[in-house]
A and B are shown apart, each in its own frame.
Chain A
Amino acid sequence: MARMAWFKKERKPRTSERVKLEIPADAWEKCDECGHIDIKERFVRALNVCPNCGHHRRISAQEYIDFLVDEGSWHELDAGLKSVDPLKFESYPERLKLAVKKAGPLEAIRTGYARLHGMPVDLGVMDFNFMGGSMGSVVGEKIARLARRSIDKRIPLIIVSASGGARMQEGVLSLMQMAKTSGVLAEQAFWGIPFVSILTNPTTGGVSASYAMQGDVILAEPGAVIGFAGPRVIKQTIGQDLPAGFQTAEFLLEHGMVDAVVPRSELRDTTAQLLRHMAGRRPAEAAD
């Protein structure tokens, strides 16, 4: 109904007839949040943030890598790690195949090293398109290896999270990845190596209850849903609708659970700024 009304409204002026003929249909994009229609190029240039309402669309791991680190500095790590089916879980292999088709063969997280404002960094970026960014053994192993590299080379760690939580199809093995990653990150913290955690939409379940919330600094993209239990589960438990804005990045900021809500366009510079602050030079050394 609403959509019908909207079409009528737009059609009335009938001014863009000529333009429509010249611009191919796929040149236009519509914001899922506010319905704003704009040239695709404007969405792309704004890193897939709606030019009208600021809604942050979900983007792929590759897109985060492209705008977060210095051009040409990305080196992929552990690209050969692949999931197996340890529980012989019904239709897991088929789902994995579908995920590879949809998001590529690099699993629900991509890890690598790069430079950010010239500083060496280790970066992990989760990909929600790969089985909802679910954390299985491969995600745990990739993060553990990345954090290990960060310890060995004394390089700061950045993890961009996007995940519904642990991967059900790997049972308790996936649950234990929470403990596994926490173990390495505890050692990383011991050595005083900075870890910036960036939360995107959504970050829930076992991922939010482990490394995503263990950053020295935790940043969140505007509007991202962040929490332990998913909104549907909570709704079921309490038997009523959730208050507006519940479990959004802004809600977490208000309750003291994240350091800052940072628009996508500022993530790169803010992270670099933070890493410079946390470079760990003692006052005496700084004076040299």
Chain B
Amino acid sequence: MVNLEDEVVRRQRERAKILAWLLGAFVILLFFITIAKTGINW
């Protein structure tokens, strides 16, 4: 037995968590793109 309201909250939480991870990864990617584009060698 799964309550519909609980299911909505569970899915919203799951999606929010994944979106947060993706946004975090995107910020890191942008950082590395900027480093590569400006031609800085590590």
Q: Are both chains from one complex?
A: no
Binding site for B on A (CB under 8 A): none
